[in-house]
Amino acid sequence: MCPPQAKPSSLSDLGIYCHIPFCASTCDFCAFYQEAPKRSEIERFLAGMILEFDHLPANCHAQTIFWGGGTPGLLPAKDLLSLGEALLSRLSSPPLEWTVEMAPSTVKLDKLRVLRDLGVTRISMGVQSFSEPILLRLGRLHQPKQIFTAWERIQSIGFEHNNMDLIFAIPGQTEQQWLEDISQAIALGPDHISTYCLTFEEDTRLYLKLARGEIKRSEEQEVALLEAGWQALRQGGFEQYEISNFARPGGACQHNINTWRMTEWIGCGPSAASQYQRRRYQNPSDLNLWLEQLDGLAGAPPAEPIILDDKQLATDALIFGLRMNQGVNLEALAKRYPQASLADTFNDLLHDLENEGYLVRKGNRVKLSHAGRLVCDAIGASLLDASAAWAQQP
Ligand code: SF4
């Protein structure tokens, strides 16, 4: 929920995230909150968003906007227009970057025209795979030919940047199939590709299949596909700038980079999360509850925000910063969060990681080695443990 009486952001890199929660069906791997796209619900959602935009900080200067979901592209063109105009009318200037996620089956020319005229700079298409059997295994609605039709339409309208999301380590997927997906994506010519390792979230159809032993997961295969994918993307002219994200020069997504750097963002829409003025909070993951909270907002602070101190922000900036290939400047981080006792908390662990070959240090900057990137989740967990252990010291 946007804070009602917040001061203008002091940072020039504020991001606005809008969560559009509608999906035509549920993909087998997805645990995100979502709603069926009934007209009555879409209208209630749009009214709520306009109310929530009214609570954005005065003279709100957002560097980036990101519309995610759900499936933002499910909204008809006229709704995309009214949502975009309502948001722009609350901002002091247009954003430098504006990304909209679209599923291939939702990419239509009238919607793309509206988005381009609003100033959207990047279409992010949820391709996932070019293989029909694999799309079926993921429970995705679209077929490969829809990806090509959607891509032609996006190209014909013209956006500054384009992303394709791909998923790998799908049970039964071979390295050859994964490399084929990557090469098809590269051949179409986007300037950004995101590759996500399939995760088995509780209560998803794929999780249940895994639990029943109908499909198998292989960590060895995951690592093999991860490395093969990185190599193929590098050879295809893409630079890895974060564990899952690759771009041609100038194609990196600033909104996500700002988030990994722990700047500020305000989330609008049900289930959207915010980090603003040292508070972290999340809207209810339920359209009705979100609307009820908006109705009763007058002067009330967002529900139970976590108040962030230097230690939490520095820990998160280190964990997420290490996911980026450029790593983290420890001196700059210590200056940004002077109360975090960064050296006392992390020096021993960082030295161990360096000695074990997971971390590389150059001057004040630390970054993960290739071996470190392969186990970055485990390294993140160790950093979190070190932060918690330091906080418990007498
Ligand atoms: S993956 Fe995307 S389109 Fe599929 S159910 Fe989840 S939010 Fe909806």
Q: pLDDT digit string (tens) for 9-18?
A: 344 689 999 9
Of the residues 22, 25, 27, 107, which should be mutated to test ligand 1's pocket, given the most ligand atoms within 8 Å of the CB? 27
Residue 106 has pLDDT above 70, yes or no: yes
Res. 268: pLDDT tops 90: yes
Q: Whose CA is nearest to atom 6 of ligand 1?
A: 30
Lowest mean per-residue pLDDT among 39-53, 158-172, 280-294? 280-294
Which has more pLDDT, 234 or 202? 234
Q: Is 32 in the pocket of ligand 1 (CB under 6 A)?
A: yes
Task: Please give the order of strands across the beta sheet that includes 97-102.
Answer: 239-242, 245-247, 192-197, 161-168, 122-128, 97-102, 64-69, 15-20, 265-268, 273-276, 279-282, 306-307
C-beta 121 within 6 A of ligand 1: no
The mean-pLDDT minimum among 3-7, 78-82, 240-244 falls in 3-7
pLDDT for res 295: 82
Ligand 1 pocket residue status of 71, Cβ below 6 Å: yes
- Per-residue DSSP letters for 239-274? EEEETTEEESTT---HHHHHHHTT--EEEESTT-EE
Per-residue model confidence as pLDDT tens digits over 173-182: 999 999 999 9
Question: Cα(327) to centroid of ligand 1, in Å?
Answer: 31
Query: What pLDDT shows up at residue 140?
Result: 85
- Tokens (6 digits) for 237: 């002219």
Measure the CA dihedral 217/34/140/377, to 10°: -30
The fold adopted by the segment(s) 15-259 is TIM Barrel (3.20.20)
72-76, 137-141, 257-261: least confident range: 137-141
Q: Is it the case that residue 69 has pLDDT exceeding 70?
A: yes
Mean pLDDT of 371-391: 94
The closest residue, in CA terms, to atom 2 on ligand 1 is 70
CA 272-275-276 angle, to 5 degrees, is 120
Establish whether residue 206 lines the binding site of ligand 1, counting it when its CB lies within 6 angstroms of any ligand atom: no
Choose among 70, 71, 77, 65: nearest CA to 102: 71
Closest Cα to atom 5, ligand 1: which residue?
26
State whether the beta carbon of 102 lies less than 6 angstroms from ligand 1. Answer: no
Q: Is the CB of 141 under 6 A from ligand 1?
A: no
C-alpha R_g of the chain: 21
**β-strand partners of 245:** 194, 242
Percent of the chain with pLDDT over 70: 95
pLDDT of residue 141: 78
Q: What is the pLDDT of residue 391?
A: 76
C-beta atoms surrounding 203 within 10 Å: 7
Instruction: Measure the CA–CA gap between 105 and 125, rounded to whole angstroms.
Output: 10
Instruction: State which of 26, 35, 75, 199 you would mutate to test the pocket of ligand 1, scoring each by most atoms of that ligand within 8 A of its C-beta.
Output: 26
The Cα 11–Cα 23 span in angstroms is 34
For residue 23, report the distance from its CA to the centre of ligand 1, in Å: 6
CA 27 to chain centre: 18
Nearest ligand 1 atom to alpha carbon 140: 4
196 Cβ partners below 8 Å, 6+ apart? 165, 166, 167, 168, 244
Q: Write the DSSP assignment of 157-213 as a string of letters.
A: H--SEEEEEEEE--TT--HHHHHHHHHHHHHH--SEEEEEE----TTSHHHHHHHTT
What does the pLDDT look like over 363-374, one tens digit per residue?
999 999 999 999
Alpha carbons 70 and 217: distance in angstroms, whole number: 26
Q: What is the pLDDT of residue 297?
A: 59
| Residue to mutate, 28, 67, 71, ligand 1, most ligand atoms under 8 Å from C-beta | 71
Q: What pLDDT, on the 0 to 100 scale, is given for residue 394?
A: 64
Q: Is the CB of 183 under 6 A from ligand 1?
A: no
337 vs 328: CA distance, rounded Å = 13
What's the pLDDT band for 8 if we cut at 50, 70, 90? very low
- For the cut 90, the answer to whether the pLDDT of residue 199 exceeds it is yes
At residue 196, the pLDDT reads 97
C-beta 302 within 6 A of ligand 1:
no
pLDDT over 80 (residue 202):
yes
- First-to-final CA distance of the chain: 37
CA-nearest residue, atom 4 of ligand 1: 27
pLDDT reported for residue 302 = 56
Residue type for position 1: M
- Please provide the average confidence, as pLDDT, over all residues in the chain: 93
Contact 264, 14 (CB under 8 A): yes
> Does 69 contact ligand 1 (Cβ within 6 A)?
yes
pLDDT of residue 390: 81
Phi, psi for residue 170 in degrees, rounded to 5: -80, 130
pLDDT at residue number 7? 36
Does residue 4 have a pLDDT over 60? no
pLDDT band at 393 (very low <50, low <70, confident <90, very high): confident
Nearest residue (by CA) to ligand 1, atom 7, is 70
Does position 3 have pLDDT exceeding 50, yes or no? Answer: no
- Express each pLDDT in 280-332 by its tens digit: 999 999 999 999 888 875 544 456 889 999 999 999 999 999 999 999 999 99
Q: What pLDDT is recorded for position 12? A: 61
- How do the domains of the chain map onto residue ranges? 15-259, 328-391
Task: Please compute the mean of the pLDDT values over residues 70-96 and round it to a whole number.
Answer: 97
Residue 124 near ligand 1, beta carbon < 6 Å: no
Q: How far is the CA of 29 from the centre of ligand 1 (A)?
A: 8
Q: Which atom of ligand 1 is nearest to the CA of 70?
A: 7
